[in-house]
Amino acid sequence: MFREEVEAFMRQFQQYLVQALETCDGGAAFKADEWQHAEGGGGVSRIIENGAVLEKGGVNFSAVHGQLSPSFLKMLEMPDPQFFATGVSVVMHPHSPMVPITHMNVRYFEAGNGTAWFGGGIDLTPIYVDLNQARAFHEAMQEVCAKHHPSYYPEFKKWADDYFYNQHRAETRGVGGIFFDRLMATEEFSLEQRFAFVRDVAYAFAPAYTAIINQNRNLAFGEQEKQWQLIRRGRYVEFNLVYDRGTKFGLATGGRIESILMSLPQYASWVYNHQPAPGSAEEKTLHYLKKDIDWLSVEV
Q: Which residues pair with 129 in a beta bridge?
A: none
Q: Which residues pair with 62 in a beta bridge?
A: 43, 87
Integer Cα distance of 67 and 111 in angstroms: 9
Q: Which residues pair with 44 in a beta bridge?
A: 34, 61
Residue pair 199/17 in contact by the 8 Å Cβ criterion: no
Q: Cα Rg for the chain, rounded, in angstroms? A: 19
103 is catalytic: yes
CB atoms under 10 Å from CB of 210, counted, come to 17
Write the CA distances from 272 to 46, 97, 231, integer angstroms: 35, 21, 10
Distance of CA 96 to the CA centre of its chain: 19
Instruction: For residue 20, give the nearest of 111, 99, 121, 90 by alpha carbon.
Output: 90
Which amino acid type is present at position 252?
A: A
Instruction: Say how many Å lie between the first and final Cα of the chain, rounded.
Output: 48
Catalytic-role residue among 103, 138, 274, 287:
103
Instruction: Output b/e per residue, 91-113; b: 16+ Cβ within 10 A.
Output: bbbbbbbbbbbbbbbbbbbbbee
Phi, psi of 129 (to 5 degrees): -70, 120
Integer Cα distance of 213 and 229 in angstroms: 16
Catalytic residues, which ones? 103
